[in-house]
Amino acid sequence: MALLLTKDLDDDGHSRLGVWHITESEAQLREATSIPSDELEEISFIKSESLRKQKLAVRALLDAMFEDKVYLSHHDNGKPYIENNAVNISITHTDRYVAVILDDRDDVGIDCESLDRDFSAVEKKALSEDEIDDLDDDRRNEQLAIYWCAKEAVYKKISQYGVDFAEQIEIDSFRPRGEGELEATFIHKDGYEEEFDLCYMTFDRHVLVWTASED
48-51 LR contacts (CB < 8 Å, sep 24+)? 50/95
pLDDT of residue 13: 81
Using CA atoms, how far residue 91 sits from 83, 88, 118, 208, in Å, is 15, 10, 22, 11
Which of 126-131's residues contact partners 24+ apart within 8 Å by CB, and which partners?
126/151, 126/165, 126/166, 127/165, 127/166, 128/166, 128/167, 128/170, 130/170, 131/170, 131/171
pLDDT tier for residue 1 given thresholds of 50, 70 and 90 = low
Residue ranges, CATH 3.90.470.20, the chain: 3-108, 112-211
pLDDT (0 to 100) of residue 78: 87
Question: In the prediction, which pLDDT does 15 show?
Answer: 95
pLDDT at 6 over 80: yes
β-sheet bridge partners, residue 98: 20, 93
CATH number of 112-211: 3.90.470.20
- Write out pLDDT tens, residues 96-137: 999 999 999 999 999 999 999 999 999 999 999 999 999 998
The architecture in CATH of the region 3-108 reads: Alpha-Beta Complex (3.90)
Query: In whole angstroms, what separates CA 181 from the centre of its chain?
Result: 15
Q: Please answer whether residues 4 and 21 qualify as being in contact, where contact means their C-beta atoms are separated by less than 8 angstroms.
A: yes
Q: What is the pLDDT of residue 35?
A: 85
d(CA 106, CA 87): 9
* Helix (H/G/I), strand (E/B), else coil: 20: strand
Residue percentage of the chain with pLDDT more than 90? 84
For residue 48, give every residue at least 6 positions away whose Cβ sits within 8 Å of its Cβ, in sequence order, or none: none
The structure's pTM equals 0.95
Residues 154-198 have pLDDT tens digits of 999 999 999 999 999 999 999 999 999 999 999 999 999 999 999
Collapsing DSSP states into helix, strand and coil, what is residue 183? strand
